[in-house]
């Protein structure tokens, strides 16, 4: 206990001479934000979302651009799809080619969840 300052105390309201930590603070719910951040933490997934901003692309294009294997790209796209951030459309004329495109509504909601903690 600081027993000096016989007349005037430290007048700061910001931090007094006795710290009183609060142990009953409510823990904020960050499950949604952390799930999205975990998706964005991978460079391949982040690159895919960025590349998709100028239109749909197929798996082989991602694989070539990021020097990754097609199955790994497909795995990353499956996670983005499970989170609802991307959709798939088949190419008419050759339905083997699956084009991925952004779900802008879901991505906007994801950005809001991140902004809620930033």
In whole angstroms, the minimum distance from the beta carbon of 109 to DNA comes to: 20
The answer to whether residue 93 forms part of the interface with its own copies (CB under 8 A) is yes
Q: Which is nearer to its own copies, 68 or 78 (CB)?
A: 68
Sheet with 86-90, side-by-side order of all strands: 57-58, 98-102, 86-90
Quick note: the x/- pattern for its own copies over 10-29, rule CB under 8 A, is x-x--xxxxx-xxx-xxxx-
Q: Which residues contact 14 (CB under 8 A, 6 or more apart)?
A: none
Name the binder of 11 from DNA, its own copies, none, CB < 5-8 A by kind: none
CB 99, min distance to DNA, A: 7
**Both tokens assigned to 27:** 């823990």
84 binds, among its own copies, DNA, none (CB under 5 to 8 A by kind): none
Q: What is the largest CA-CA distance in the chain?
A: 89
Residues between 64 and 83 that touch its own copies (CB under 8 A): 64-66
Whether 10 and 19 have beta carbons less than 8 Å apart is answered as: no
Q: What SS3 class is residue 55? A: coil
Apex CA 106: angle with CA 114 and CA 51, to 5°? 85
Contact residues toward DNA (CB under 7 A) are 1-2, 38, 41-42, 44-45, 58-60, 68-79, 88, 93-98
């Amino acid at each position: 206990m600081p027993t000096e300052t016989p007349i005037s105390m430290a007048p700061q309201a910001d931090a007094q001479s006795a710290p009183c930590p609060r142990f009953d603070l409510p823990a904020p719910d960050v499950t949604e934000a952390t799930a999205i951040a975990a998706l964005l933490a991978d460079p391949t997934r982040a690159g895919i979302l960025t590349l998709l901003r100028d239109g749909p692309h197929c798996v082989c294009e991602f694989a070539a651009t990021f020097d990754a294997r097609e199955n790994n790209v497909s795995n990353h796209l499956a996670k983005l799809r499970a989170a609802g951030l991307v959709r798939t459309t088949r190419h008419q004329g050759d339905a083997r080619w699956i084009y991925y495109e952004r779900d802008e509504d879901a991505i906007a909601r994801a950005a809001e969840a991140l902004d809620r903690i930033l």
